[in-house]
Structure 1
């Protein structure tokens, strides 16, 4: 069950991903200019945290809104929603 939906959290997710992109570009520049590895590792950690939080927000939003609606609209047959949950849970 694939649906295209815009949720209230999407702008926040985009903001986080843009921040991660900025950090990643910074890391590339740091490597190219031979900055200390500890500085590079710190920036990579920031990229990783931003992406992880964006993913977590997206999945949680999907579970809270899309799957709840699918189960409620299933009229007692939650099998499609359960399958969708299993599919998205692979990315946790």
Structure 2
């Protein structure tokens, strides 16, 4: 990653994603241990929310710091990235 694409929020995003990775590993263990499906689903929902929050933060950060130079390219990129929200 180049310095021009390193933002203040990135270190917190890495922490969030590592935490989500740990939770996902726990979910895999739960499945392997034949834990109840409802318990697994609750943990999967927590992982999904964590990843969604990280994605949203990254996209908003991108909009705030990487777009705004004007022109058709920014508009095209904004439309593409908005589909990910």
The number of equivalent residue pairs is: 82
**Larger gyration radius, structure 1 or structure 2:** 1
User: Does 1:12 pair with 2:5?
Assistant: no
**TM-score normalised by the chain length of structure 1:** 0.83
In structure 2, stretches of 5+ residues that fail to align are none
Give 1:86's aligned residue: 79
| 1:22 CA displacement | 0.6
- What RMSD in Å do the two structures reach over aligned CA positions? 1.1
Distance 1:53 1:26 in 2: 19
Question: CA offset at residue 35 of structure 1?
Answer: 0.8
Q: Distance in 2 between matches of 1:22 and 1:43?
A: 11
* 1: CA distance, partners of 2:81 / 2:52: 15
Counterpart CA distance in 2 for 1:17 and 1:23 is 10
TM normalised by structure 2 equals: 0.89
Distance 2:80 2:5 in 1: 17
Partner of 1:64: 64
Cα shift at 1:64: 0.9
Moved over 2 A (4+): none
